[in-house]
Every structure is written in structure tokens, then in C-alpha cells.
Amino acid sequence: MKWECYFVQQWNLLVKLKFCHTCQVIRPPRSFHCRVCKSCIENLDHHCFWLSKCIGKHNYNHFIVFISTLLIGTIYFYILCITRFFSSNISHKIKEFSPDLYYPIITWPILIFLIPLSILHIRLNLRDQTTIEYLKNVR
């Protein structure tokens, strides 16, 4: 795949634009081509395989709200299970392998994944940086 570069003067800045041969468009700044979706996305953050969708300029805030509510819901669910587990006969619940015991075990890996993901994206959002720019150390 060949990439051609174009330079456009905007105010006092020289902006570098790339031509995407697959989409046949000159990409706006901060845009990237998603190989999964086979299209150029403005402010592409990443292609989310869980949502089967690109996360970019038009849905990044929705993504932040989604992972934040998912995190809050998982923490709330986790706390509910723990409090229910310790509220009554613990030995009986362990013997019967109650849902109050195995739900927190199931949700623990989700929490381990969601906490750093939420912190990363809130931090990137505050810095006005995408995951691709963060990984490439562009901005």
C-alpha cells in the first residue's frame, strides 16, 4: 500500500495529509484507515472487536460512557454479591456453591480488565489523544 502525503497550510501551521489508496480520499488530520472496516475513520481511536465497530470522532464519547457505566455496574454488582454472601449463613452458601459466591469470581476478571481500560480512556480523553496516537507517541 502506497501513501502519498500532501501539505496544506492552515493559519500558520503546515498540516500533513495522507492519501488513502484504498478509500481514494485525502484523509483529514488524525484520521487512520481501519483494516477491519476497510474505511478511513476520523480521529480513529481503535477498532473494538467487542462492539465490532470503529471507535472514532463520532462515537468516542459514547464509548467512554459505555465503559464507565459498565465499570460502575460491575462494581455495584460485585458489592451486592459480597454483601449478600456475608449477610447470612456463609458455610451453607459455600457448601451449596451459591451464586453469591461464584458471581464475584466470574466478575473479577471483568473488573481487572475494565478498571485500567476506563482509566486509560479517561486519561486519553482529558489529553485529547487517541489510543493510536498514544501508542505511536504522536501527540
- As annotated, the active-site residues are 48
**Does 34 contact Zn ion by CB under 5 A?**
yes
Residue from 32, 43, 46, 54 touching Zn ion (CB under 5 A): that is 54
Per CB under 5 A, the segment of 52-60, 62-70, 100-108, 125-133 that binds Zn ion is 52-60
CB 15 within 8 A of CB 29: yes
* 3-state secondary structure string across 35-94: CCCCEEECCCCEEECCCCEEECCCCHHHHHHHHHHHHHHHHHHHHHHHHHHHHCCHHHHH
Q: Does 121 bind Zn ion (CB under 5 A)?
A: no
33 is a site residue for Zn ion (CB under 5 A): yes
Count interface residues toward Zn ion (CB under 5 A). 10
Q: Is-contact 51 58, C-beta < 8 A?
A: no
Q: For residues 30 and 33, which CB has a smaller minimum distance to Zn ion in the complex?
A: 33
Name the one range near Zn ion by CB under 5 A: 3-11, 34-42, 69-77, 78-86: 34-42
CA distance 24 to 21: 5
Question: Strand, coil or helix: what is 122?
Answer: helix
Per the CB < 8 A criterion, the answer to whether 23 and 11 are in contact is: no
Which of 23, 70, 110, 132 touches Zn ion by CB under 5 A? 23
20 lies in the binding site for Zn ion (CB under 5 A): yes
Binding residues for Zn ion (CB under 5 A): 20, 22-23, 33-34, 36-37, 40, 47, 54
